[in-house]
Structure 1
């Protein structure tokens, strides 16, 4: 397959596969994944049918935040391999018709980056103004903003008695985008990789790059309202897009933290002045208590449907969204919203169908296509994620939350739930490595693995493969309108997608019991084709007024206009 650089909208019917390299495949015995390991699995990805791979950061990094703390944007981390390895990956992927999307982190750098090292302790450094520095106020931090990883968002440089801003770990210093030299550096970095033939970029927390310049105290929250979707963010993105993205024809997806629909309509506007598409996370906060991630509760199903409706109708005809359940920061969806024991296969398929049948570009996170689950860790020592470890310390040692309660929360919410190594086969360490895995593998790998899935034509793998094919075959999935048919139903998520010639129904039971649903009257006696289901279907091609759905059942039905 030859990739066409002139197919500018290839991503609208594409499915993108996210690889977290550290946990994907180890070509040797290091215990961590690498680029050669990815190369060895390209045929697997071709068999699945994905159009592109999104690689989380593979740059030089001290790995405080697993690569999202970059110390050299122009070098490949030796833990993953070499620049030559990357060039081989790019070439071989392209030969198979698979594009490569790189992760770019330009809200902040590692404090080990040469820019920051020059700026640290030297107010006259040419790189001092690459970062955000403020004087103490009354001997304390410049304001009360909080880091997303816990604690204050400011760290003191004792040699100059100024604080630098870090919205994440203290080893991740925020860049000063007000400085045009910083923006030029970003253009140069992205151009370097685009020149190598990289097809697109995922931009980490890109809506945080513009901050309110008076840096006020926040008497209502943690400070995010003063730097989320900030005052110059659209200006900055248009500048970068015009100089780089449009020049190279790069597909771009922006990770948007705590954003709004109105801003995302601008970020992903169909005129292409900023980004191709956006990630938002509102649908993955339906199991937070009062917006607090570090709580344990059942998900709010009605709220989930309301959020989908808000974003699907709001972006239709105005922008473009990324569709996803899982990534390296989110727990496994089959454990989170499904049933990862008795109905693991059924619920994994149902959740896949309900997200893939919406408008947008679907993303599959490694192992999602196998129905991989959370690992159910029982000890703090099993976790490696800096956020999880910091929050355990804060909640247990400082706030007095019982150890057992916090362990239950981590088992539901920790980022390490999705970072366990990919389960390739039933051999030692799930075929991930010949060494000792950097993170303990889920104990169910003898049953849940890629080798077993490929041998089973009814597996979750082949269900995902069919979803990927349908997106290319059925136009209404890409261009149809969106309607929630049963918005108040407390068990069923049923949507209609419609264009001039087709109507597609996707009906999903989100629970572990048989349930009856009554479709709207206009669908009572209509001939339809069942495109896909996770249960055997009857021979009848007519929709009835009453539909009986089995536990976690999904049905994708196509109605062709006469």
Structure 2
């Protein structure tokens, strides 16, 4: 197995969207001190690691993914000292925290970009990807044009205000396309490693890397980008060997070859992640019309390619996609979490998913959220003012709350042993008690359909997981004995000779 920080063995992550988590000063926007005040809640749930979305100086045209200063915390969240205090408080609780690194682009307000727009050459001229003429755009990319005295068009990665940093082209085809070993791309990578060095030396435990597979341009097979990240991994192994790096790539074989410790399966790409939770007929819907086979086939393919190299992670959701509770409800959510928390790879729980927070329909876009805005509403802590998120007047809240009278709250679910949160807490405790269920445990699929069955193993421990999201009882051939049941959601699995009778909307784990 490739080397990785030991704390990743049983890491269970909780994703915090800082502006929506907890507001400590009544301005309607979440902040570092608010997060600190809720760390015990996260630990009580059972999570021992945090991924926090970007928290740096920004004009917030894309919710902080448009960074104007990598070295300064955004004042609306607090100071650098407040952020370092957050690191310290996380560590006091035996937990770890990852910051969100955005290496592919900056805000157009970043001093680097302002310097790169100047006609005279300077140290930032080649920090971004520019064509030689304002009349030439880069085929396949958006661009900024006619904005400066410099002649040229600047590539953008997504939104118009996000100029692309220059890591070079794997196969340069135009005079302005610099190779990956040119001085400009090398300086850009050095600058990004300096950013990582700055925050790691102050207590950050690593980074989740935004759009990690997109840095080198004209790199169809990812070879140039893989080589770039291998340099980063060598730097980290030398200076910060306990730091973790997690990629938003969606192709684990490439990400792990590049030196990442884990990669997300997420909404875009070939993983069939959406088949599980977010499509017309999700597999985890009780209607029982979904199809899990394409997901399993792709997962097995990735698992074989990355065997003993790193982690493939399946998140409950994130800030870019619909809430889990938009398509799943009631016990469907409990069954889905039984899957998420018994699969290999580090689990990631998006804030509020553990209580079944809903997608808020009909919202206007906030900070570039557009249709994603409904998944970014404030955390619902209790039934006090603004659901306990903030004491600000309701019109000043970062994003409107779920207006429903029956919106779920953390307080109510903590008091209810039958709630979704209580079931998630129970599942996390089960996972942490059994090495076979943890991040590096092996997996072998036994049956892909209704039910879904897989073996998890580590050392001498072998566990069988049986999950049936359907509202109908299912039967499947299974000639072996089940063993001892160590977890059961809803009714118990029965064995009738060589046939298993799997109850509707159930999940079970057996020790073999």
TM-score bracket, normalised by the shorter chain, equals: 0.7 to 0.9
Q: Report what 2:281 is aligned to.
A: 298
For residues 154-177 of structure 1, what are the alpha-carbon distances to aligned partners after superposition, in whole Å with 9 as ceiling and x for unaligned?
A: 544453331111111111111112
Inter-CA distance 229–367: structure 2 relative to 1 (3 Å threshold): farther
Matched, 1:52 2:49: yes
Q: Report what 1:521 is aligned to.
A: 479
Matched, 1:83 2:102: no
Partner Cα separation in structure 2 for residue 286 and residue 100 of structure 1: 25
Contact 1:327 1:365 (C-alpha < 8 Å) held by counterparts: yes
Q: Report what 1:162 is aligned to.
A: 152
Q: Report what 2:177 is aligned to.
A: none
Inter-CA distance 92–536: structure 2 relative to 1 (3 Å threshold): same
Contact 2:272 2:298 (C-alpha < 8 Å) held by counterparts: no
Select which of 355, 358, 361 maps to 2:340: 355
For residues 114-134 of structure 1, what are the alpha-carbon distances to aligned partners after superposition, in whole Å with 9 as ceiling and x for unaligned?
A: 000111242523211000001
Partner Cα separation in structure 2 for residue 497 and residue 537 of structure 1: 20
> After superposition, where does 1:120-135 map in structure 2 within 5 Å?
120-135=117-132
Select which of 532, 539, 544 maps to 2:487: 532
Partner Cα separation in structure 1 for residue 368 and residue 272 of structure 2: 20
Select which of 499, 503, 507 maps to 1:549: 503
Select which of 334, 356, 375 maps to 2:325: 334
Unaligned runs of 5+ in 1: 1-5, 146-151, 213-225, 268-273, 289-294, 389-413
Contact 2:130 2:152 (C-alpha < 8 Å) held by counterparts: yes
Matched, 1:416 2:381: no
Partner Cα separation in structure 2 for residue 285 and residue 156 of structure 1: 41
Partner Cα separation in structure 1 for residue 120 and residue 386 of structure 2: 50
Inter-CA distance 252–207: structure 2 relative to 1 (3 Å threshold): farther
**Residue 286 of structure 1: how far off its partner (Å):** 5.6
Contact 1:287 1:298 (C-alpha < 8 Å) held by counterparts: no
> After superposition, where does 1:33-48 map in structure 2 within 5 Å?
33-48=30-45
Instruction: Select between 500-509 and 11-20 the one with higher mean Cα deviation.
Output: 500-509
For residues 57-115 of structure 1, what are the alpha-carbon distances to aligned partners after superposition, in whole Å with 9 as ceiling and x for unaligned?
A: 11101111111111001111011011121122122221111212111111111111100
> After superposition, where does 1:294-443 map in structure 2 within 5 Å?
297-299=280-282, 301-302=291-292, 303-336=294-327, 338=328, 340=329, 344=330, 346-375=331-360, 377-378=361-362, 382-384=364-366, 386=368, 388=370, 414-435=371-392, 436=394, 437-443=397-403
**Residue 425 of structure 1: how far off its partner (Å):** 0.6
Partner Cα separation in structure 1 for residue 405 and residue 226 of structure 2: 45
Dislocated runs of 4+, deviation >4 Å: 153-156, 282-288, 540-544
Inter-CA distance 208–78: structure 2 relative to 1 (3 Å threshold): same
Inter-CA distance 417–544: structure 2 relative to 1 (3 Å threshold): farther
Select which of 408, 412, 428 maps to 1:452: 412
Matched, 1:481 2:464: no
Contact 1:331 1:416 (C-alpha < 8 Å) held by counterparts: no
Partner Cα separation in structure 2 for residue 49 and residue 447 of structure 1: 23
TM-score of the two chains, using structure 2 as the length reference: 0.86
Partner Cα separation in structure 1 for residue 25 and residue 85 of structure 2: 18
Inter-CA distance 209–197: structure 2 relative to 1 (3 Å threshold): same
Partner Cα separation in structure 2 for residue 180 and residue 201 of structure 1: 21
Partner Cα separation in structure 2 for residue 21 and residue 186 of structure 1: 23
Contact 1:136 1:142 (C-alpha < 8 Å) held by counterparts: no
Contact 2:138 2:155 (C-alpha < 8 Å) held by counterparts: no
Contact 1:131 1:173 (C-alpha < 8 Å) held by counterparts: yes
Q: Report what 1:206 is aligned to.
A: 212
Matched, 1:278 2:239: no
Select which of 49, 60, 74 maps to 2:71: 74
Q: Report what 2:176 is aligned to.
A: none
Contact 1:264 1:278 (C-alpha < 8 Å) held by counterparts: yes
Unaligned runs of 5+ in 2: 168-179, 283-289
Inter-CA distance 537–246: structure 2 relative to 1 (3 Å threshold): farther
- SS of alignment partner, residue 128 of structure 1: coil
- SS of alignment partner, residue 141 of structure 1: coil
- SS of alignment partner, residue 163 of structure 2: strand
Partner Cα separation in structure 1 for residue 405 and residue 91 of structure 2: 31
